[in-house]
């Protein structure tokens, strides 16, 4: 007989049992659920590790259990009870870092680390550098030769991989995705991370904490807007300590979940600063790690302006997310996505925000008509927005930071309590000492790769920010899967037809595929179909009619080649158009798809009907 115990469930303790699926005498199969647990984050089943007969159920509904708590006694099965107990002990060793498997892949403690935006020797993990717009995809869908990846069986394999030892450098979204996928494919994976928690910049000091704070900012703004339809609220009382704690709790739940997933997959996590010593070796704080294949997922770091004084009041996005206080006045240098998102947060919390942008519009690279509703809204809320303007000098003083500006309409010098520098990001390829492995890195710190994500060294791959723009977490995760599957011998490449970009501002701005700006620059023929949200019942009922949904259509094939949306939840709405582009859908396909009413998603269908001349919610000339 053998006791079945609660396996690793991440950072959770004293989790209640909400359902018991078996009784004494029941025959169970391998992986059959025995009990269900429910934490504050998720509901999870505890499966049977082997087939057998239930001799005794050791817990009841509402009992609280933790890792290692016995729940069921099993008798019989394919292996005797002693072997089952040994296996359980080995699993425990593999989880807590005290054991080492036979192939020499060290099992480790769940020490995982966020990758910061500083310039330490070897960064790890990807982040979403959201002020980068995606490269325009290949819109010649008829000429694209894409591999058939519909069959997930072994038929997708080209050949057995040479060597199973895979090291992944960086635990951001791209890195942990690559590591987990490689482990699922039977490879022996070591994940190298230099910080304390897994998840990289995105989870720890990027995408996730910024979205948590943006949600808080939107709540404040919505409460203010409600006055227009008769609901007035007093000014909010802001508890910064509680807000910071809530933000950190969101991050901890996600990183803790990844910790558990790594342990279940027996992914070895090695902490420390890493450098390549040869094309098959890494050194991590003096420890040598040999590998057959490597995936570099080392991310990017915040770019800074030259000649800035060293002063704690001058921060990048990581420093701004720490939310040390709410300054009376804040200068945001850079009107891209990251700068505007943080400006939204601080403005909602009470700062007087000034934005300076060196180009002639906010969110450079995005179509001006999409930016216009956002620019109008923030112009009413911010202290000032200066376009076509550069920072000429910065001097730190006791009473603040004095900044002078350069440009045709540049303002007079001003003093600010804090400065946020958000002028883009730089790939970390130049921090890896990767020349020892023979991998080529360009002057921007980027590692060039092919469609299979291979570098110039055939067994070393690179994914995410370190490969250059667009620097987006969701791009990195897909690249990570491609790299892992290629190493496992699968015939796959990274050839997306659309990579969405989203500014989580208020209103949100999202786009994918070809932009009108790019189409005009390249001489690409296109038709534009726009549905204004003034005609959307849902947008009007939300009090947010300023938005619009735009589709770019190929005049001959009628396929969708690009899209842009501005308005609440634009980042969610753009996914439908991305799917349409991947499926080579035309405007008619979207228009004929029944969308729920009244929703903002209808605006995508209405834009498609505008393209086809079949719209009835607006008047448009007939096209057939």
pLDDT for 543-572, tens place per residue? 999 999 999 999 999 999 999 999 999 999
**CB-based contacts of 484: which residues, under 8 Å, 6+ apart?**
166, 177, 178, 179, 181, 182, 185, 187, 295
421, pLDDT greater than 90: yes
Q: How far is CA 506 from the centre of its chain?
A: 19
- Residues of the chain with pLDDT > 90: what percent? 73
* Confidence (pTM): 0.76
Q: How far is CA 22 from the centre of its chain?
A: 39
CB neighbour class for 2 (10 Å; exposed up to 12, middle 13-18, buried from 19): buried
Give the residue, 93 or 280, on which the prediction is more confident: 280
The three-state secondary structure class of 278 is strand
Q: Of the residues 215, 478, 595, 597, which is catalytic?
A: 597
The three-state secondary structure class of 535 is helix
Structural domains in the chain, CATH included, are 2-96 (2.40.50.100), 166-213+244-301+427-487 (3.50.50.60), 314-423 (3.50.50.60), 507-612 (3.30.390.30)
Residue 19: per-residue pLDDT: 86
Cα torsion 147, 151, 157, 158: sign: negative
CA–CA dist 89, 458 (Å, integer): 39
Question: How many residues are there in the chain?
Answer: 624
In this structure, how many other beta carbons lie within 10 angstroms of the beta carbon of residue 141? 17
Is 258 in contact with 112 (CB distance < 8 Å)? Answer: yes
Place of tokens 């296996």: 87
Q: How far is CA 102 from CA 90, 91, 94, 105, 188, in A?
A: 11, 13, 11, 8, 11
Structure tokens that stand for 578 in this block: 């991305």
CA–CA dist 548, 565 (Å, integer): 6
CA–CA dist 370, 507 (Å, integer): 10
412, pLDDT greater than 80: yes
In this structure, how many other beta carbons lie within 10 angstroms of the beta carbon of residue 142? 8
Structure tokens that stand for 360 in this block: 């002639």
In this structure, how many other beta carbons lie within 10 angstroms of the beta carbon of residue 47? 16
Structure tokens that stand for 78 in this block: 């394919």
In this structure, how many other beta carbons lie within 10 angstroms of the beta carbon of residue 186? 10
- The mean per-residue pLDDT over the stretch 47-75 comes to 90
Residue 285 phi/psi, 5-degree rounding, is 50, 45
Grade residue 41 by pLDDT with cuts at 50, 70 and 90.
Answer: low
Is 385 in contact with 375 (CB distance < 8 Å)? Answer: yes
- The mean per-residue pLDDT over the stretch 63-81 comes to 77
Which is nearest to 361 in space by CA: 391, 336, 384, 342? 336
391, pLDDT greater than 50: yes
142, pLDDT greater than 60: no
Is 597 catalytic? The answer is: yes
CA–CA dist 616, 591 (Å, integer): 12
Grade residue 40 by pLDDT with cuts at 50, 70 and 90.
Answer: low
The three-state secondary structure class of 490 is strand
CA–CA dist 319, 511 (Å, integer): 28
- Residues of the chain with pLDDT > 70: what percent? 85
156, pLDDT greater than 60: no
CA–CA dist 525, 97 (Å, integer): 59
**CB-based contacts of 490: which residues, under 8 Å, 6+ apart?**
149, 156, 157, 158
Cα torsion 383, 389, 395, 396: sign: positive
141: left (phi over 0), alpha (psi -120 to 50) or beta: alpha
Give the residue, 240 or 140, on which the prediction is more confident: 240
Residue 624: per-residue pLDDT: 57
Q: DSSP letter string over 445-480?
A: SPBP--TT-B-SSTTEEE-GGGG-SS--HHHHHHHH
Residue 109: per-residue pLDDT: 34
Structure tokens that stand for 426 in this block: 């730089």
């Amino acid at each position: 007989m053998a006791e079945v115990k609660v396996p690793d469930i991440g950072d959770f303790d004293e989790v209640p049992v909400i359902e018991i699926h078996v009784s004494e005498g029941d025959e169970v199969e391998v992986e059959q659920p025995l009990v269900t647990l429910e934490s504050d984050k998720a509901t999870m089943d505890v499966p049977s590790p082997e087939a057998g007969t239930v001799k005794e159920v050791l817990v009841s509904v509402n009992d609280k259990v933790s890792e290692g708590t016995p729940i069921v006694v099993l008798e019989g099965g394919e292996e005797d009870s002693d072997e089952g107990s040994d296996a359980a002990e080995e699993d425990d060793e593999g989880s807590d870092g005290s054991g080492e498997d036979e192939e020499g892949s060290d099992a480790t403690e769940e020490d995982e680390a966020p990758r910061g935006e500083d310039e330490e020797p070897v960064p790890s993990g990807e982040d979403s550098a959201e002020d980068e717009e995606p490269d325009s995809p290949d819109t010649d869908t008829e000429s694209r030769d894409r591999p058939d990846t519909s069959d997930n069986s072994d038929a997708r394999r080209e050949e057995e991989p040479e060597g199973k030892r895979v090291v992944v450098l960086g635990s951001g979204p791209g890195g942990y995705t690559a590591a987990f996928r490689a482990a699922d494919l039977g490879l022996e994976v070591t994940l190298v991370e230099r910080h304390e928690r897994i998840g990289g910049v995105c989870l720890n000091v990027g995408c996730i904490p910024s979205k948590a704070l943006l949600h808080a900012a939107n709540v404040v703004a919505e409460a203010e807007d409600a006055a227009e339809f008769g609901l007035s609220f007093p000014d909010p009382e802001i508890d910064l300590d509680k807000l910071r704690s809530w933000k950190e709790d969101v991050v901890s739940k996600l990183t803790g979940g990844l910790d558990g997933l790594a342990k279940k997959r027996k992914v070895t996590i090695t902490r420390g600063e890493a450098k390549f010593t040869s094309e098959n070796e890494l050194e991590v704080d003096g420890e040598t790690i040999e590998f057959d294949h490597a995936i570099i997922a080392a991310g990017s770091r915040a770019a800074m302006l030259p000649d800035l004084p060293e002063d704690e009041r001058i921060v990048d996005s990581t420093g701004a997310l720490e939310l040390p206080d709410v300054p009376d006045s804040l200068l945001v240098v850079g009107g891209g996505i990251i700068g505007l998102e943080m400006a939204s947060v601080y403005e909602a919390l009470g700062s007087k925000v000034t934005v300076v942008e060196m180009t002639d519009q906010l969110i450079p690279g995005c179509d001006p008509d999409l930016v216009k509703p956002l620019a109008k809204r923030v112009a009413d809320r911010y202290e000032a927005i200066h376009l076509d303007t550069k920072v000429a000098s910065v001097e730190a003083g006791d009473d603040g930071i004095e900044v002078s500006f350069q440009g045709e309409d540049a303002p007079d010098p001003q003093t600010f309590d804090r400065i946020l520098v958000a002028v883009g990001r730089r790939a970390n390829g130049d921090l890896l000492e990767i020349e020892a492995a023979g991998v080529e890195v360009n002057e921007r710190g980027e590692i060039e790769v092919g469609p299979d994500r291979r570098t110039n060294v055939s067994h070393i791959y690179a994914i995410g920010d370190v490969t250059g723009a667009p620097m987006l977490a969701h791009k990195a995760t897909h690249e990570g899967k491609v790299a892992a599957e290629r190493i496992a011998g699968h015939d796959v490449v990274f050839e997306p037809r659309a990579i969405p970009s989203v500014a989580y501002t208020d209103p949100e701005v999202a786009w994918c595929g070809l932009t009108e700006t790019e189409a005009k620059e390249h001489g690409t023929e296109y038709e534009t179909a726009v549905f204004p949200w003034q005609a959307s019942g849902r947008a009007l009922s939300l009090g947010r009619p300023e938005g619009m949904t735009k589709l770019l259509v190929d005049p001959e094939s009628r396929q969708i080649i690009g899209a842009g949306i501005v308005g609440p939840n634009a980042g969610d709405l753009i996914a439908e158009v991305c799917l349409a582009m991947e499926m080579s859908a035309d405007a008619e396909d979207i228009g004929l798809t029944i969308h729920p009413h009244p929703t903002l998603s209808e605006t995508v269908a209405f834009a498609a009907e505008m393209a086809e001349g079949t719209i009835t919610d607006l008047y448009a000339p007939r096209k057939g």
